[in-house]
Every structure is written in structure tokens, then in C-alpha cells.
Structure 1
């Protein structure tokens, strides 16, 4: 079928010349009918055979030439240097050479700018990653101080210091994961995970943050096993927890964070619903909560909202093949659902 399309494209590209040839043949056929009526059929047969032969040979040559031009054009697009440009000019019609030279100059200019931007971006990412690792040193020292000098500070001061440390660690991890999400190689390791037990472990690791906001934690449903990457899933849960603690409604006496597992018999999929009883999200804001930098009306409850947490959640969930869904109304809290893929072991 490919060669039929090539023949059609050839006829379409040179349709004017083929039309002129056909009209000329019809004119000569008419003259042959007038001049040689007794041998008209023989002359017409010879003319048709000769015309088909004269059409087939140019079509074959044009198709062969077109393949050479396409190969040179692909090489030129992949590497628009002067050598490939000269090769393309050599195999192309002379009338196209000025356009090829102009296109080559534009492509080389764009490629030079892209290379410069790529180098600047690589330097920037390297600096950010280095800064993140440097920030971990004083945070580790702070953790060591909080553990070894427990008796020298009041429980309230220690709890507040741990809260600040956990917030800084969360910000640092967010930056680090943002850099990792853009990396070409991602070292995910998928393994069986007991979902509710894993959620309990994550909440225990962030107990100080939850206590500072006064959250009560509830776990609902049966224990279920899913296949995912532990670090990536932990990052998703941590960001959702941090998002809930940042958006506690004013004068809210008993904030609650629920983790509920649900198994769908029809789709054979496991869903984790994470819900809070915070201020909720308006109907017009709900479709955009996973967009980069979007804070919406929830952002008015706190100056800490950056719109990056749930954006990174959506990116990580995409890498882990986890579907995200969100439901909310103003004053009724926010429910974020993680729908895990059905993996056959």
C-alpha cells in the first residue's frame, strides 16, 4: 500500500504535466483518425503503449529520487550542520536550495540557543540538588540536638522545634523530588505493600506535624495489598497530609484525617480515600487543584499554600500509574482518592 500512495503522491505533485501529456495524446489521436483512418487502431495502440512507458519511467525515477531526498532531509533535521545541508542541496532541485540554506541557518540558530538553555538548566539543577544536600546537614544536626538535649528544653519548645524541622524537611524533600521527576532515569522499585499499615507508618513519621495541627487520625476498611514504589507512594501520602494540615479551617476544634481502603469488584482495583473535614474546595476550583502553582480559595486560609504539593502528587502518581480523583464542597472537607492499578503477579 505504501508504494501505491507514493505513486498517487507523484501523480498529484506533477498532475499539470501529466494532464498536458494526456491532452497532447488526445490531440494526436484525433489527427491520426483524420489522416490515417485505415491504420487508426494500430497507431492508437502504439501511442498508448509508448505513453504508458514514458509515464512509468519518469514516475519510477521520481520515486527513487524522492527516497534519496527524504533520507537526506531526515539526516538534515536530526543534525542541521553544513555538511548535511550541502548533501540535501545536492539531491534537491536547484529551485529549493535557497530555501534549504535559509532553513539551515534558522535551525542552527535555534539549536545553539537550545544547547545554551540545556547547559544553563543542567547547571541550575545541579546547584539546586547540591543546595538540598547541603540543607540536610544542618537539619541532621538539628535532629541530633533535639534527641541528645531533650532534658535541656521544655516539651513545648521541643515539640515546636520538631514541627519546624519537619516542615523544613518536607520542603527540602519536595524540591528534591521535583528534580527527580524530571530526570531521564527513575529508580522506582515496585513491590507488594500492605496499604493501611503503610499509611499508619507514614502518619507516625509525621505525628508531630499532625499533633501541632490537632488532627485525629482514623483508619477505615480492611488491609489490602497493592504493588507500588515505597518511596514514591510515601511522598504522595506525605504531600496529601501536609496539604491537609496547611488548610485547617479557622476555629476548627477537632480536625480529622481519614484513610479508607475500598476494593471495587467490577474493576478489580483498590482505592485509598484520604479525607479531611477542613474548609473544602469550591466547585470551580476543584478541577485545578493538581495544577502547578494553583492555590484557589483554599490558599486564602493560609499563606503557606504554594500550589506545588498536589502538583507533585499528580506527577508522581502518573509515574506510578496511580489514578487521582478529588471530591469536595465548601465546608465539607476534601477527599483525594488514589486508585491503584490492577497488577497481576
Structure 2
């Protein structure tokens, strides 16, 4: 009798556990795909007292799923439109470049310089949109290779000389040439956005503007650091911790008061992808220093 009782209890426990697992599996399928088929399967393995609640939950989940699908379609259409617009706007920009190259003798040096400045600003805005889309992509085509850091900075500055001339910045390069491992396009984008921030938000009629690139080797960590500094208006102490946040414009300082909050945000996202640490130091009225700390990559 004892053996029989233990056997019956074990059988009952086994049946209860097995039924519980069947209910859990059906409920999990229902949550992942709350269609009417999975809803009916869950009802069949559940107590009749829960059917009303299961039908109600299924109806609500399907409603939310339908709205979510509509929003995904709208977002996809919007992204496709923006990307299409970016590629279309490149055509008049290319034509503008062609005219500036072939008809420069028909305009004064000042007009040509201003036109080149506006063109470069527009190219920068278009580049930000493209890199924003690139950062959201699932697969990213980064190519890591050895880069001579100071030479790369000089090359990037030459490509934006009109922007620097218009803003009145003098460029300085300090330190020894050092070799890093990074993606050229991504690193160029980071440098460009920092340059745009330095040149865009300077005070009017400010003289002796300097943009400095300095390489430093940290013997303790074995990391290479690039300090990019200017002597512009700077950022207030309360705004400084948030300058890399999306959409942050701050309350004081020329940098944050006129900014859209996207340039340095994209810098932080790209730096994260390239394993570059960012550090910022500034005081209101004393300029801004942004440091790029490159990873210590062993051969």
C-alpha cells in the first residue's frame, strides 16, 4: 500500500509538472506571436476560468502589434526618403563645385571664398546625415589600419581649409608623429565634427583664434592621446558633462547656446564604435579641449 501510494503521488506530481510545462510553452509562444492560433492553443491547455483574460490579452497585444508594424513602415519610408534626398542634394553640390572650379575668374576672391565656405558647410551637414544612418546600420564596414596620427590630422585640415580661413583659425601641430590603429573614414568624421564645433561657435570679431592638435603618449597606460583644443568661448562647468548627449544645447556659453546637439553626439557614437575614449575639459571663456584616447592595441 505504501509503495502504491508513493507511485500514485509521483505519477500525479509528474502529470502536474508536465502540464505546467505545456502551459508555460504555450504561453511563451503566445507572447512571442499573439495570433489567434496560439491564443486558441493556450486556451486549450489552460483552465476555462482564464479564457476570458487570455482573449482580452490577445486582443490588446494584436492591437499594439498592428500599431507597431505601421510605425515601422512609416519610419522605414522616412529613412528611405532622407537617404534619397541626401543623394539627390549631392548633384547640385557637385555642380556648385564644378562652377567654382571653372568660373573662379568671373568672381572676386572674397565671393569665391564665401561660396566655398557655404559649400563645405552643406557638405558637412550632408555628411552628418549619412554617418547618422551608418551608425544605425546593423552591419558596419569599418576597416582598421595603421594611421600616422599627426599626418592624418594635417590632411583632414587641408580638406577643410576654406572653413578654417573663413573662421580665422590658425592651426598648430604639437608633439611627435605616432601610429594608431583605426578606421580612416570614421576618424576623419570625428575630427571634422570637432572642427565644425570650434569654427561654428566662435565669437564675432575674435582675433588670434588657434586650433591646436597635440599628440601625447601615456607611459602608464601605454595609450596614445590626441588633444584637440581651441581658444574659443568655452563651455560652462554645468554644461560640460552633457556636451556629448543627443540634443543637448545647454543654457550658457556660445558653444551650447547655438548648437543643435547632434555633432558631438555623433562624435561620441562613432568614437564608441572605434573604441576611442573621449574626454572634455573647458571653462567658460577659456576654450575647449577634447581628448581622443586611442586603445592600446598589441601587435
1:153 to 96, 107, 114: 107
TM-score by length of 2: 0.93
- Structure 1: runs of 5 or more not aligned: 1-45
Q: 1:271 aligns with which of 225, 229, 236?
A: 225
Does the CA contact (< 8 Å) of 2:201 and 2:258 recur in 1? Answer: no
Residues 1:63 and 2:14 aligned together: no
Partner of 2:159: 205
Give the Cα separation in 1 of the matches to 2:41 and 2:220. Answer: 60
CA contact 1:277–1:332 (8 Å) conserved in 2:
yes
Confirm or deny that 1:118 pairs with 2:67: no
1: CA distance, partners of 2:82 / 2:91: 15
Report the Cα distance in structure 2 between the residues aligned to 1:142 and 1:302, rounded to whole angstroms.
Answer: 31
Q: Distance in 2 between matches of 1:65 and 1:342?
A: 55
From 247, 264, 282, the counterpart of 2:201: 247
Match of 2:186 in 1: 232
Residues 168-204 of structure 1: CA deviation (Å, up to 9, x unaligned): 1111111121122222222222222111111111111
CA RMSD of aligned residues (A): 1.9
Greater relative contact order, per chain length (Cα 8 Å cut-off, separation 6+): 2
TM-score, normalised relative to structure 1 = 0.81
Residue in structure 2 matched with residue 107 of structure 1 by the alignment: 61
Please, which of 81, 86, 93 is the counterpart of residue 139 of structure 1? 93
1:170 aligns with 2:129: no
Deviation at 1:85, TM superposition (A): 1.3
- 2-structure distance, mates of 1:202, 1:54: 81
Contact kept, 8 Å, 1:216 with 1:257, in 2: the verdict is yes
**8 A Cα contact 2:175 2:216, kept in partner:** yes
Please state how far the C-alpha of 1:97 moved relative to its aligned partner. Answer: 2.2
The farther-off stretch of 151-160 and 93-102 is 93-102
Indicate conservation of the 8 Å contact 1:295/1:306, yes or no.
Answer: yes
Q: State how 1:1-345 maps to structure 2 within 5 Å.
A: 53-297=7-251, 300=254, 305-345=259-299
Question: How much has 1:300 moved relative to structure 2?
Answer: 4.4
Measured after TM superposition, the shift of residue 154 of structure 1 is: 1.2
Q: Which residue of 2 aligns with 1:5?
A: none
Kept in 2, the 8 Å contact 1:247–1:298? The answer is no
Contact 1:159 1:208 (8 Å CA) reproduced? yes
Residue 276 of structure 1, CA deviation = 0.8
Q: Is the CA contact 2:234–2:253 (under 8 Å) kept in the aligned structure 1?
A: no
Kindly tell me the number of residue pairs found equivalent between the two proteins: 299
Q: CA deviation at 1:69?
A: 2.1
Question: Measured at CA, do residues 193 and 242 of structure 1 come closer, stay the same or move farther in structure 2, by a change above 3 Å?
Answer: same
Q: Between Structure 1 and Structure 2, whose CA radius of gyration is higher?
A: 1
Once the two structures are TM-superposed, the CA of residue 297 in structure 1 deviates from its matched residue by 4.2
Deviation at 1:298, TM superposition (A): 5.7
| Structure 2 counterpart of 1:31 | none
> Matched residues in 2 for 1:136 and 1:288: separation?
33
Change (3 A) 1:60 1:250: same
